[in-house]
Amino acid sequence: MRDTCMLGPWLRRFLVDYIVTERRLARNTQKSYRDTFTLLLPFISAKIRKPADRLDVEDIAPTHVLQFLAHIEENRGCSVQTRNQRLTAIRSFARFVASRDPARLAWCAQIRAITTKKAAPQPITWMTRNEMEALLAVPDRRTPRGRAEYALLLFLYNTGARVSEATRLQVSDLQIGRHGDNHALVTLCGKGDKIRQCPLWPRTENALGELIQRRANGDPVFLSRHRKRYTRFGVYRLVERCAARVPTLAARSITPHVIRHTSACHLLQAGVDLNTIRAWLGHVSLETTNIYAEIDLEIKAKAMALCDAAASRPDRPWKEDKGVMAFLNAI
């Protein structure tokens, strides 16, 4: 009976059996949920003066959860989006426990009654074509390391791939060196193990072809300078380091996801329809891709404003137009 109260066994079943085996959620989701409880358990342990290993399920009380959410915002300086993400993990755990133990339905209802905060949407950051080309020009392609870094940056721009998709890429996922009118292709494994294919530009094909020479099909495509598979942190560090050397990007926060946004915006500006961009990026819903349409509308609005400002003015000022009142009364 005591085992059903202990928090530890429930967390193990939730993070290993439920998240991975039953739901088949992404590895990053599992890590995010794990990070939530890595922060939550010591916080509650300190509040009720009880070792984390001895915590019960119902020690995750609604009042403690609310205090924890306030703590990560006020003391840890996290954003509202991060606060809501942590709450999502806790609610998911409560729902999991209640589905296996109906006696805790009331506790689950109290946890799930905690509301998310409304957060202002984050502005989409992206780069112009000149800025993207300047970023690609940073690696020294006269060296093997520079050519590898250039290939990775170009691949992210070409495909709009997520970091996890790029780091998991294997040689067998590439179809390059095809003859005739067959384009080079890459097969990407995205969120929820969803598979999609993206065409590769000739320069991307050439850069990758040089990179994977003498490698087996099961080998990673992108290797760090230590000849090991790139990590998520390694890709972020590469992008940040290269962006710092571009004057127009040095003061901005440039991440691999900004390159993904850049790829989508450039496709839209080139006249590619939203549904094709959705498939290109691996979005499940078209609503996610619509954010890029809003960016394009802003560009069009600025262009319209410029055209309007350049329009010729009437020969006579408004006050001299004697027929304006008659015109308004006639409507």
Give phi and psi for 231, each to the nearest 5: -95, 165
Q: Is 160 helix (H, G, I), strand (E, B) or coil?
A: coil
Domains 7-112 and 129-307 belong to one CATH topology: no
Tell me what pLDDT residue 192 has: 74
Tell me what pLDDT residue 123 has: 79
Domain range list for the chain: 7-112, 129-307
Q: How many CB atoms lie within 10 A of CB 52?
A: 17
Tell me what pLDDT residue 319 has: 54
- Pick the closest to residue 44 from 10, 67, 17 (CA basis): 67
For the 129-307 domain, the top CATH level (class) is mainly alpha
CATH topology of domain 7-112: DNA polymerase; domain 1 (1.10.150)
Quote helix, strand, coil % in the chain, to nearest 5.
Answer: 60, 5, 35
- Given a contact cutoff of 8 angstroms between Cβ atoms, the answer to whether 69 and 87 are in contact is yes
Give phi and psi for 229, each to the nearest 5: -55, 135
Q: Is 161 helix (H, G, I), strand (E, B) or coil?
A: coil
- Residues in the chain predicted with pLDDT less than 70, given as ranges, are 1-3, 180, 296-331
Q: Which long-range contacts (CB under 8 A, 24 or more apart) does 123-126 make?
A: 124/261, 124/265, 124/291, 124/292, 124/295, 125/252, 125/253, 125/254, 125/258, 125/261, 126/258, 126/261, 126/262, 126/264, 126/265, 126/295
DSSP string of 89-124, one letter each residue: HHHHHHHHHHHH-GGGHHHHHHHHTSPPPP-PPPPP
Q: Is 66 helix (H, G, I), strand (E, B) or coil?
A: helix
- The tokens for 110 are 């109290």
Tell me what pLDDT residue 1 has: 39
Q: Which long-range contacts (CB under 8 A, 24 or more apart) does 177-185 make?
A: 177/205, 177/209
- Given a contact cutoff of 8 angstroms between Cβ atoms, the answer to whether 41 and 61 are in contact is no
Q: Supply the pTM of this predicted model.
A: 0.74
The alpha carbon of residue 308 and the mean position of all alpha carbons in its chain are separated, in whole angstroms, by 37
Q: Identify the H or E element spanning 149.
A: helix 144-159
- Given a contact cutoff of 8 angstroms between Cβ atoms, the answer to whether 234 and 145 are in contact is no
Q: What is the per-residue pLDDT across 196-218, written as a single tens digit (0 to 9) for each?
A: 999 999 999 999 999 999 999 99
Q: What is the per-residue pLDDT across 1-46, written as a single tens digit (0 to 9) for each?
A: 345 789 999 999 999 999 988 888 888 889 999 999 999 999 999 9
Spatial separation of the C-alpha atoms in residues 325 and 82, rounded to whole Å: 57
Tell me what pLDDT residue 210 has: 94
Amino acid at residue number 234: G
Q: How many CB atoms lie within 10 A of CB 46?
A: 10
Query: Which positions are annotated as active-site residues?
Result: 162, 191, 257, 260, 283, 292
Tell me what pLDDT residue 315 has: 54
